[in-house]
Amino acid sequence: MQKEIIISGFGGQGVLFAGQVIAYAAMDSGKQVTWIPSYGPEMRGGTANCTVVIADQEIGSPLVKNPPLVIALNLPSYDKYEPMMQVGGTLVVNQSMVDRGAKRADINTVFVSANEIAEQIGDKKLTNMVAVGALLAALPEVTIETLEEALKAHLPARHQHLLPKNYEALRRGFESAKEQLAVIV
């Protein structure tokens, strides 16, 4: 088993942390995992992305050209990664930030209004967790429970009070994606 995930969006959307939470959950499930950011001289703004690879054996390349799993939190990321995706892969798109439908029929595109859901829960910063929840619907190797445990174990103490809202964000994203994937499949 090996799964590669790219998470991409604007700086400040929590792209890197979203990847780390998945990496923690994979590690806690006894999997091999790598997390690698794309980094640039600019510290803020611009697009940020990270790649997470989860496997049962020693991981080779930490980077992937044609990912099977992508979270695109904004339009530039959607435009960039949609054509690069592996056939049959799942692309989670933050519908709140894009104004177009899918161009490819050979992948599963899941639209989640991550901003709106996050705002409904009461914290716009939860956009990334909504999207991560959505991705888990296509990543059975990491269960929503292990991800919740990972959040609990690795969220800094000062953010621990936000755990219930994070859990809600994950589950709302997950449910939204599951419904759509059920229709597609």
Partner 1 sequence: MPKELWKGNEAIAEAAVRAGLEAYFGYPITPQTEVLEYLSRRMPELGRAFVQAESELGAINMVYGAACTGVRVMSSSSSPGVSLMMEGISYIAGTEVPAVLVNVMRGGPGLGNIAPAQADYNQAVHGGGHGDYQAIVLAPASVQEAIDLTVLSFDLAEKYRSICMVILDGCVGQMMEPAEMPEMKPVHRENWDWNTDAKMGKRERRILSSIYLDPVEEEKMNLRLLNRWRTIEANEVRYKEYFLDDAEIVIIGFGTAGRVALSAVREARAQGIKVGLLRPITVSPFPHKVIDQLAGRVDAFLVTEMNSGQMLEDVRLAVKGRVPVEFYGRMGGVVPFPDEILNEIHRMAKVKLSADVHPRDAWLERMAHV
Binding residues (CB under 8 A) for partner 1: these are: 20, 23-24, 27, 32-37, 39-41, 58-65, 154
Closer residue to partner 1, CB minimum distance, 43 or 182: 43
What span, in angstroms and rounded, lies between the C-alpha atoms of 93 and 90? 10
Q: Which of 4, 19, 16 is nearest to 150 (CA)?
A: 19
- Ramachandran area for residue 13 (φ above 0: left; ψ -120 to 50: alpha; else beta): alpha
Cβ(69)–Cβ(84) under 8 Å? no
The single-letter DSSP state of residue 30 is T
Closer residue to partner 1, CB minimum distance, 69 or 118: 69
Least distance in Å: CB of 39 to partner 1? 6
- In degrees, rounded to 5, the angle at the alpha carbon of residue 179 between the alpha carbons of residues 11 and 102 is 55
Least distance in Å: CB of 110 to partner 1? 26
Least distance in Å: CB of 36 to partner 1? 5
Closer residue to partner 1, CB minimum distance, 42 or 99: 42
The single-letter DSSP state of residue 62 is S
Closer residue to partner 1, CB minimum distance, 66 or 179: 66
Least distance in Å: CB of 146 to partner 1? 14
